């Protein structure tokens, strides 16, 4: 199973709103994540920084393809852009993937 990690920043003072929006994540967004084979999705924060991690049952490329083609993800990104600072990868249109430099199983 492939793993995916990303990072972003929250606009100053918007952490509470970021958490509120994720607590009420749309059912249709959950469906897209399920369709993409994404499991164990977790997001952490420290200060204004975010770190996200998920596992891809069907591979990273498949997960990226499903998300990049989804109008739901496009609407979610639009919904979040006033509180989230994230530079997207120009090639994939997704969050830039962090490189794993250590893993302990």
Catalytically annotated residue among 20, 22, 30, 81: 22
| pLDDT surpasses 80 at 89 | no
**pLDDT score of 62:** 95
Residues 5-23, buried b or exposed e (16+ Cβ, 10 A)?
ebebebeeebeeebeebee
Residues 6+ apart with CB under 8 A from 72: 26, 28, 29, 31, 32
What are the boundaries of each domain within the chain? 2-85
CATH (residue range 2-85): 3.30.70.100
22 is catalytic: yes
**Per residue in 11-46, pLDDT tens?**
999 999 999 999 999 999 999 999 999 999 999 999
């Amino acid at each position: 199973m492939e793993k995916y990690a990303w990072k972003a920043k929250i606009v100053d003072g918007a952490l509470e709103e970021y958490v509120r929006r994720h607590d009420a994540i749309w059912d249709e967004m959950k469906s897209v994540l399920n369709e993409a084979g994404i499991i164990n999705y977790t997001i952490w924060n420290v200060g204004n920084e975010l770190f996200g991690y998920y596992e891809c049952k069907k591979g990273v490329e498949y997960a990226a393809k499903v998300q990049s083609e989804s109008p739901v993800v496009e609407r979610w990104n639009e919904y979040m852009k006033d509180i989230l600072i994230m530079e997207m990868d120009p090639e994939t249109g997704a969050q830039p993937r962090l490189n794993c430099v250590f893993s302990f199983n």
